[in-house]
Amino acid sequence: MSEHLQIEWLGALRYGDALERQLAALAERRRGGPDRLLLLEHPSVITLGRSARPEHLRSAPAVLAARGVELFEVARGGDVTWHGPGQLVGYLIVDLAARGTPDVSAWLRRIEAALIEALGALDVAARRIPGLTGVFLAGGGRPRKIASIGVGLRGWISWHGFALNATPDLAGFDDIVPCGLSDVAMTSVAEALGVAPTQALFERTRGAVAAAFERSLA
């Protein structure tokens, strides 16, 4: 583990509990604590970022609640997204000013680059698309999005982060227009590789992501 970035695996955690963990890590970073990458999974939850539009939520809140899908409005950039089992979520509590790079756009590109590197280690060719935030599979045709990114800032300390679709049931995205992009299809590591969505693949994805961010933020 890098001395510059503390990476923690939190397992399966409800969104509200993870939010509390982020806020605690953010407060500790302000007191001189470490930069952190919190890796975890969420039970099914839909989050609405600052740019979310009501029409991008396809199912009524009461319908979602009846199915056990939580709904949160959150202080991050971006539109609406879904989190659920099999999706690797990473919350980055990083002091950008202390790293000499207080630039949100550059920070988003750095997150994308680390995810693209991690996917490459899994034999999944990925890219970014100019003008959009997130990571997409390489190739032509309809864009296929494999990772979503949305960050918030407290001072110049970044929080929130990314969600990489490792082995989820992609039907979870049916309740929303993911990230407000109606012309984009959501995909996963398992789907890109044409293999079963196993726990072993999820753990390989987690390891590749941790290694890529450790290198990126060393």
By annotation, the residues acting in catalysis are: 179
Q: How far apart are CA 29 and CA 112, in angstroms?
A: 23
Q: Which two tokens stand for residue 208?
A: 């590749």
Cα angle value 193/194/198 (rounded, 5°): 85
Pairing state between β 185-186 and 144-154: parallel
Beta bridge partners of 160: 151
CA distances from 47 to 156, 167, 174, 187 (A): 23, 19, 14, 19
- The alpha carbon of residue 27 and the mean position of all alpha carbons in its chain are separated, in whole angstroms, by 21
End-to-end CA distance of the chain: give it in Å, rounded: 9
Q: Which residue has the tokens 């953010």?
A: 26
Q: How far apart are CA 99 and CA 2, in angstroms?
A: 15
Q: 208 exposed, middle or buried (CB, 10 Å; 0-12, 13-18, 19+)?
A: buried
